[in-house]
A and B are shown apart, each in its own frame.
Chain A
Amino acid sequence: MLLELEEVHVSYGPIAALRGISLTVEEGEIVTLIGANGAGKSTTLNTVSGLLHPRSGRIRFRGAEIQRLSPQEVVARGITQVPEGRRVFAEMSVEENLLLGAYQRRDGAGVQRDLAAVYERFPVLYERRRQSAGTLSGGEQQMLAIGRALMARPTLLLMDEPSMGLSPILVQQVFEIIRQINAQGTTILLVEQNAHMALKVAHRGYVLETGRIALEGAAAELTASEQVRSAYLGGA
C-alpha cells in the first residue's frame, strides 16, 4: 500500500470538512476521488500535502505516518500536487515555474534531463519557456502545472480537477496525459468533477459526499452503479 488514509477528520475552525475519511492507493494505480462541490475533495488532497493537518486519524505513506509533516517534508517523501486552479506563478517565466517544481532537487544534471523531458511532452511549453506563465492560455497553464509537478519526480501525484475549465478537446488531452504519466510509473490520486472521464481513466474510485466516503469500488463498478449514474454521470 502506497498511501493510506485512516479515519481522517479535518476541520476549518468549527467547520468539519472531512468526517472520517478512509481510503487507500496502491502503487501503480490511478485512483479517483469524485464528488460534488464542497464535498471535501481539495481538503483531502491538501491534508495529504501537509497544508492542513487532521484533527484525528492517520495518513500513512509507504507505511510511515505523514499527517504531521509540513508541505516541504511531504514533497521530500515523494508526493507532489497539481493544485486546483493550476496556481502557476504568473509573473515568472514558464521555465522558472518548472524549476520551482524541482526546488528540492540537488541533482542539476537530472533536473536538466527532466526539464527536457517535460518540454518534449509539452512542446508548447518549450516554445514559451521565456514567457511569463500568466500569459499562457488556460490549457497551457494546466500543462505547466502538470509539468511543474513532474519536475519533482514524484512517486505519488495528487491532481485536483486538472480538467476544470478546459475545452472538450483539451479535456481529452489532459486525461491522455494522465494515462501516460501513470503508464510511466507514477501513481496518481485524481480529484475530478468530470466523473465520466475520471472513471474511464482510473482503476478504482471513491465517491465523497459532505466529508464522508459514500461509495467505493473498481472504476467499472462505480460507472455501472445506479447511485453514481444518477448523481454524477448525468444519466438516469
Chain B
Amino acid sequence: MTAILQQIVNGLSLGSIYALIALGYTMVYGIIKLINFAHGDIYMVGAYVAFFAVTLLSMNLGVALLLAMLAAALTGVLIERIAYRPLRNAPRIAALITAIGVSFILENGGILVLKPDPRAFPDPIRWRQIRLMGGSLVLSTQDLFIVGVTVAMMLLLVYFVQRTRTGRAMRAVAYDMQAAALMGVDVNRTIAVTFAVGSALAAVAGVLVGLYYNRIDPLMGLVPGLKAFIAAVLGGIGSIPGAMLGGYLLGVIEALVGGTQFSLFRDAVSFALLILILLVRPAGLLGRNVREKV
C-alpha cells in the first residue's frame, strides 16, 4: 500500500511538468484549434534562458524563472505572429504542418546555437528528504516545491481566465471568434496573449524539470512535449481543468507502471491506457464535444 502511495507521490512532480506544458497546448487549441507542435520546444527555450540567467548572469532562481517566462512568452508570440497568423484562414492541415516545421526550426536551431551536449542545470537549493509513516514514505522538499509552484501557477491562471477582462475575452474568442470581434474584442491581441501565457507556463515547466533532472538539452522538449499533448487530449483538449487533470494522471500512471516489472514499457503502457480512455471518452475526461470551428 505505501509502495503504491510512494509511486503516486513520485508521479506528482512529473505530472506537474506535464500539466504545465499541457495547459499551453490546450489553451492554444481552445482559441485557434491548432495543435502547436512547437510548444514542447518553447519549454526548452524557457529552460535554457533560466540556465544562462543563473550560470552566466548569476541571477537568483526566482529572477531567472521570471526572465525565462518572459522570453518564452515572447517566443510564443513571435511564432504565432510570423508562422500561424498568416495561416489563420487557411486549411487547418497547413497550420499543423507549419507547427511541425517551427518545432524542427527550434530544435535544430537549438542544436546549432546551444550545442547538442546536455548541460548541468544548476540547482542552488539544498533539498531535504522528509520521511513519513515511519520512514516508509519518502517525500522530497523538491517534490513539494515543484507541486507548490505548479499549483500556484494554476491558481493564477484560473484567476486570470475566469476573473479578468482579458480572460473573459479569451473565452469569448475561443467560443466564437466572429461574435467576439463584434463585441469589440481585439482578436489578434487576445490570441497573442493566449500564446504568451501558455508559453510562460511551459517555461516554468522547463525550469522545474531542470531542477528535477539537473540536465537540459536542445531536444528535451520532444518527449515531454508529446506526453503533455497526450495529457491535454486525455483531459479533453481545449479544457483547462482537463489539462491539469490529464497531466497529473499521466505522471502518476507512469510512476505506477515504472514501479512494476513492466517499467521498461512505461511509455507503451501509458499510451495504451490513453487509447483505452479515449475509446470510452473520445472527447477526453473533461472535454465537451467541442464545437468545430467553421
**B211-235, CB < 8 A from A:** none
Contact check, A71 vs B184: say whether CB atoms are below 8 A apart.
yes
The answer to whether residues A75 and B182 also contact, given A87-B176, A89-B175, A91-B175 and a CB cut-off of 8 A, is yes
- Decide: B179 and A89 in contact? CB cutoff 8 A: yes
Collect the chain A residues with CB atoms within 8 Å of residue B182's CB: 49, 51, 71, 75, 80-81, 83, 87
Contacting residues, chain B, for A88 (C-beta < 8 A): 179
List, in ascending order, chain A residues with CB within 8 A of B184's CB: 71-72, 75-76, 80, 103-104, 152
Answer whether residue B178 sits at the interface, using C-beta atoms and an 8 A cutoff: yes
B186 & A89 in contact (Cβ 8 Å cutoff): no
Instruction: Note all chain B residues with C-beta closer than 8 A to A76.
Output: 184
Some 14 contacts from A to B, beta carbons below 8 A apart, are A72-B181, A80-B182, A83-B178, A83-B179, A89-B172, A91-B171, A91-B175, A92-B171, A92-B172, A92-B175, A99-B168, A100-B168, A148-B183, A152-B183
Name A100's closest neighbour in chain B (CB-CB).
Answer: B183
A71-111 interface with B by 8 A CB criterion:
71-72, 75-76, 80-81, 83, 87-92, 96, 99-101, 103-104
Closest to B165 in A: A103
Q: 1/0 contact trace for B162-199 toward A, CB 8 Å?
A: 00010011011001101111111111000000000000
Query: Which of B171, B172, B178, B185 sits near A51, CB closer than 8 Å?
Result: B178
Contact assessment for A87 and B171 in the assembled complex, using a CB-CB cutoff below 8 Å: no
Classify chain B: how many residues form its interface, as a range.
10 to 19
CA distance in complex: A50, B169 (Å): 18
Contact at B178–A87, with CB atoms within 8 Å?
yes
Known: A71-B184, A72-B187, A103-B183. 5 other contacts (CB 8 A): A80-B184, A83-B182, A88-B179, A92-B175, A101-B183
B residues less than 8 Å from A83 (CB atoms): 178-179, 182
Choose among A71, A80, A101 the residue with the greatest number of B CB atoms under 10 Å from its CB. A71
Chain A residues packing against B (C-beta within 8 Å)? 49-51, 70-72, 75-76, 80-81, 83, 87-92, 96, 99-101, 103-104, 148, 152
A100 near B181 (CB under 8 angstroms)? no
Docked CA distance A100–B187 (Å) = 13
Residue of A nearest to B180 (CB): A100
Query: Complex Cα distance A75/B179, Å?
Result: 12
User: Contact flags (1/0) for B248-291 with A, using CB distance below 8 Å?
Assistant: 00000000000000000000000000000000000000000000
Report how far A80 CA is from B184 CA in the complex, Å: 8
Contacts of A51 in B (CB 8 A): 178, 181-182
A72 to B180, CA, bound (A): 9
Docked CA distance A100–B173 (Å): 11
Q: How far is the CB of A158 from chain B (nearest CB, A)?
A: 9
Within 8 A of A (CB), among B56-88: none
- With beta carbons under 8 angstroms apart, the residue of A49, A50, A100, A148 that contacts B185 is A100
**Are A100 and B175 neighbours in the complex by a CB distance under 8 Å?**
no
Partner of A92, one of B165, B168, B178, B187: B168
Q: Which residues of B contact A152 (CB under 8 A)?
A: 183-184
Complex Cα gap A49–B165 (Å): 22
CA distance A223 to B45 in the complex (A): 67
Residue on A with the closest CB to B186? A72
Complex Cα distance A89/B183, Å?
A: 11
Residue of B nearest to A45 (CB): B182
Closest Cβ neighbor of B184 among chain A residues: A75
Whether the Cβ atoms of A72 and B168 lie closer than 8 Å is no
By a CB distance below 8 angstroms, the chain B residues around A90 are: 175
Tell me the bound Cα distance from A205 to B175 in angstroms: 34
CB interface residues, B 140-177, toward A, < 8 Å: 165, 168-169, 171-172, 175-176
CB contacts (< 8 Å) of B175 on chain A: these are 89-92
Closest 9 CB pairs of A and B: A75-B184, A71-B181, A87-B179, A104-B184, A100-B183, A72-B184, A103-B184, A72-B186, A81-B182
Give chain B residues whose Cβ lies under 8 Å from the Cβ of A148.
183
In Å, the complex CA distance between A70 and B183 comes to 12
Min CB gap A164→B, angstroms: 16
- Contact indicator B172/A100 (Cβ below 8 Å): yes
Give, as a whole number of angstroms, the nearest-CB distance from B161 to chain A: 11
